[in-house]
Structure formats: structure tokens, C-alpha cells
């Protein structure tokens, strides 16, 4: 089999997932769209859930990762803070590093993995 093994990196603080694939995808979508609601729609996630994830990161890091702008004639919006951009940059760097370091082992494991429908 080839290309079936996926690597995921998740950081927990106690019982809270501080950062992982879903939260970083959400940060990236907010950065791209300029909106929590648009990011949630792009990820097929409820606005409430997206807001909960952002709030969780904002509360557990030493500063907010997303800032919201409310109302006005052009509506509201959201953007990553400098901390949010750095968190996203470092997470991506850690994923790239992890995949490079583990490439041979992942390839070996992948070569010994049966297709999902073969079990």
C-alpha cells in the first residue's frame, strides 16, 4: 500500500487540545477569509463550534490568536493576531520537521499496511 499513513500532531494542556490539525486548519481558514463564520462554512462546521475552538485557544495561550471586529457598515470580521500567525507558522514547521524525520519509518509502516477494506 502507498500513501495511506497520515501523521497528526496534537498538543494538549491537561485535558484541553491546545493545538492540532483542526484548530490550525481553522486558523488558516480565518486568515484566508477574514471571518470566523466564513471559515466555519468553508470547513462545514457550525459558527458556534468554530467560535468555541477560537475561544479555547485564546484562553489557553498567553494572548489571543484571533481578534474579532464587530459590525460597522461593512459588517464584522476576524483576523489572526501576531501570536496567531506565529502559532500557525510554528505548527506548520513542526509538521514538516516531523514528516521529514519520520519519512523512512512512515514509508516502512505504509508498505506493511493493508487497505482499509481488507480487514
Mean pLDDT lowest among 4-8, 20-24, 87-91, 109-113: 4-8
Distances (CA, A) of 71 to 61, 77, 88: 26, 8, 27
All domains of the chain, ordered by start, with CATH?
13-114 (1.10.10.10)
pTM of the model: 0.85
* Cell numbers that stand for 66 in this block: 484571533
| Cβ pair 67, 23 in contact under 8 A | no
Contacts of 110 (CB under 8 A, 6+ apart): 1, 2, 3, 4, 5
| Cβ pair 5, 110 in contact under 8 A | yes
| Cβ pair 36, 51 in contact under 8 A | yes
Q: Is 18 exposed, middle or buried (0-12, 13-18, 19+ CB in 10 A)?
A: middle
Q: What is the pLDDT of residue 75?
A: 63
**Residue 82 in this model has a pLDDT that exceeds 90:** yes
Band (5; pLDDT cuts 50, 70, 90): confident
Distance in angstroms (rounded) separating the CA atoms of residues 53 and 32: 17
Q: What is the mean pLDDT of residues 7-36?
A: 95
The β-bridge partners of 44 are none
Amino acid at each position: 500500500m502507498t500513501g495511506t499513513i497520515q501523521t497528526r500532531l496534537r498538543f494538549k494542556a491537561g485535558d484541553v487540545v491546545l493545538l492540532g490539525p483542526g484548530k490550525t486548519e481553522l486558523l488558516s481558514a480565518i486568515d484566508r477569509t477574514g471571518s470566523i463564520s466564513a471559515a466555519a462554512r468553508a470547513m462545514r462546521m457550525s459558527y458556534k463550534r468554530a467560535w468555541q475552538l477560537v475561544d479555547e485557544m485564546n484562553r489557553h495561550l498567553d494572548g489571543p490568536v484571533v481578534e474579532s471586529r464587530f459590525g460597522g457598515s461593512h459588517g464584522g470580521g476576524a483576523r489572526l493576531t501576531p501570536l496567531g500567525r506565529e502559532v500557525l507558522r510554528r505548527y506548520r514547521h513542526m509538521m514538516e520537521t516531523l514528516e521529514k524525520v519520520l519519512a523512512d519509518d512512515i514509508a516502512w509502516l505504509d508498505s506493511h499496511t493493508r487497505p482499509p477494506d481488507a480487514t
